[in-house]
Structure 1
Amino acid sequence: MSERIDKIIVFLKEIDKFKEVEREIFLKNRMESDADHAWHLAMFVFLFEKDLPKNLDILKMFKLVLMHDLVEIYAGDTFAFDGEMNKSKKEREKNAAENLFSKLPKDLEEDFHNLFNEWEDAKTKESRISHAFDKAQPMIQNILSDGKTWKKHSVGYERIDEFSKPFFQEDKLLEAIYEKLMREIRGIV
């Protein structure tokens, strides 16, 4: 038991670095961190739980949204519209997952790898809905910052629509969220 506790505490200390990983998303007076992003995604799951299909594993969704970007502690954040960085993203994140998750006790290491792979594969309803929330969250941040990140990178409405829309086709709720956000975005970029 002592070795298990030691490994978990080492891991918890290591993932504290998550708070320091900056995303290419502006808040009012600073850049968003990965921890800010993960917290906000967990709130999406919490707040929309009653509106989601009843057969979903909500605990799994919480786990997915809280852990999916932990690999960025080593791999760094990749801005969605950065074509060059996206070329190496999968490989960087796979290597980071191996390194980071190996610090855990074996059963948790396996759990984290399974969750990470589920996120990456996006084959389950839980992972696809979580992906939609993962796209909606920076849309909200950009609305709040008057499109500051998009304007900095010359990302227009059509490009946002083309990139984001496929993630919101899973469910009527997601479609409604998408339409609401895109109406707000139209007035910004």
Structure 2
Amino acid sequence: MQAYVDFVMELDRLKGVTRKVKPIGLDRYENSAEHSWQIALLAASLAHLAEEKVDVSRVVAMLLVHDVGEIDTGDAIVFAEGGWEERKAAEYEAVKRIFGHLPEDRGAPFLALWREFEAGETADARFANAVDRAMPALLNLANHGQSWRENGIAFERVVARIGPPINAGCPALWAYMLPQLEIAREQGWFGA
């Protein structure tokens, strides 16, 4: 039992990983645990709109583990350019360490889900990636572009970074978001 308690106590540290976008109506930045919880529920509610049939329980589990490595590496804004290969290598080492708290037969499935998410090759992973990429933009749309303006993120960078994965995993979500992003651009909610 101690291994499971140690694992979940290690996961508690995800609550201390600060992201770049603020929750609606709050004057603080969200943390990675909040992000994972929110996108898991978004995925569960949108699963019927996925490009291909998905296993909702696998998608939710994937989204709950996808940012666990940030306990060691911290968060990088999704709209950042460059350095992703090094970052993902560091995250892989982190998730191996964190899932290593568990007995092998319990940790290995979590690691496999993390790797599947990162590869983005299955229908479940494509849909999970779509939802993950959508949430920061949805929060920015609700917050008048707060993190885009604070971090100098241009409209073109947002569309290039999130458009392809959202459209690949959930075209209906991208069809909704693109016009919203264009309105936000007209309203000056993006950085230079």
Q: Could you tell me the TM-score, scaled by structure 1's length?
A: 0.89
Q: Which residue of 1 aligns with 2:10?
A: 14
**Correspondent of 2:84 among 83, 86, 90:** 86
Q: CA deviation at 1:152?
A: 1.4
Q: Which residue of 2 aligns with 1:23?
A: 19
Q: Which residue of 1 aligns with 2:55?
A: 57
Q: Which residue of 2 aligns with 1:175?
A: 174
Aligned partners of 1:60 and 1:126 also within 8 Å: yes
Q: Which residue of 2 aligns with 1:67?
A: 65
Aligned residue type for 1:164 = I
Pick which of 45-54 and 89-98 moved more: 45-54
Q: Deviations over 1:111-151 (max 9, x none)?
A: 01110110110000111111111111000111122111111
What's the secondary structure of 2:102's corresponding residue? Answer: coil
1:112-123 alignment runs, 5 A limit: 112-123=110-121
How far apart, in 1, do the equivalents of 2:58 and 2:145 lie?
A: 32
How far apart, in 1, do the equivalents of 2:174 and 2:60 lie?
A: 21
Pick which of 83-92 and 42-51 moved more: 83-92
How far apart, in 2, do the equivalents of 1:165 and 1:55 lie?
A: 20
Q: CA deviation at 1:52?
A: 3.4
How many residues are matched?
185
How far apart, in 2, do the equivalents of 1:125 and 1:178 lie?
A: 21
How far apart, in 2, do the equivalents of 1:172 and 1:141 lie?
A: 19
**Stretches of structure 2 lacking an aligned partner (at least 5 in a row):** none
Aligned Cα root-mean-square deviation (Å): 1.8
Q: Which residue of 2 aligns with 1:33?
A: 31
1:179 and 1:6, CA in 2 relative to 1: closer, same or farther beyond 3 A? same
Q: Deviations over 1:56-78 (max 9, x none)?
A: 11100000111100110111111
How far apart, in 2, do the equivalents of 1:184 and 1:33 lie?
A: 27
1:97-108 alignment runs, 5 A limit: 97-108=95-106
How far apart, in 2, do the equivalents of 1:181 and 1:37 lie?
A: 21
Pick which of 47-56 and 116-125 moved more: 47-56
**Stretches of structure 1 lacking an aligned partner (at least 5 in a row):** none
How far apart, in 2, do the equivalents of 1:55 and 1:162 lie?
A: 25
Q: Could you tell me the TM-score, scaled by structure 2's length?
A: 0.88
